[in-house]
Amino acid sequence: MPNRLDDDEIDRRLPDDWEREGDEIVRVYTFDDYLDGVTFATQVAEVADEEFHHPEIRIRYDEVEVRLTSHEAGGITDADVRLAGLFDAER
């Protein structure tokens, strides 16, 4: 079981534009075109499936909200901050 990161580690490793909300990290990506957001969400889902670590993805008309937490560990782990960086690379 992966270890939860402590508060200092989370603050240090959280990528720019991501926020911490309790046991989750979240970023909202904005898009001019709804279908661009849908395409991005699909790219995020493909990365998540490859890494076997799955975010919550909410698709709105001009933004996509991505939330990460490690359910089994009950908090934020290395996988979450690492995946955040991988998702940003899809942008």
Instruction: Note the residues at the interface with ligand H2B (CB under 6 A).
Output: 52-54, 69-72
> Using CA atoms, how far apart are residues 36 and 59, in angstroms rounded to an integer?
10
Smallest distance, ligand H2B to C-beta of residue 52, A:
5
Nearer to ligand H2B, 31 or 53 (CB): 53
Nearer to ligand H2B, 31 or 77 (CB): 77
Smallest distance, ligand H2B to C-beta of residue 87, A:
12
Residues 6+ apart with CB under 8 A from 84: 14, 15, 18, 25, 27, 66, 68
Nearer to ligand H2B, 6 or 51 (CB): 51
Give which of 12, 57, 60, 2 is closest to 36, Cα–Cα.
60
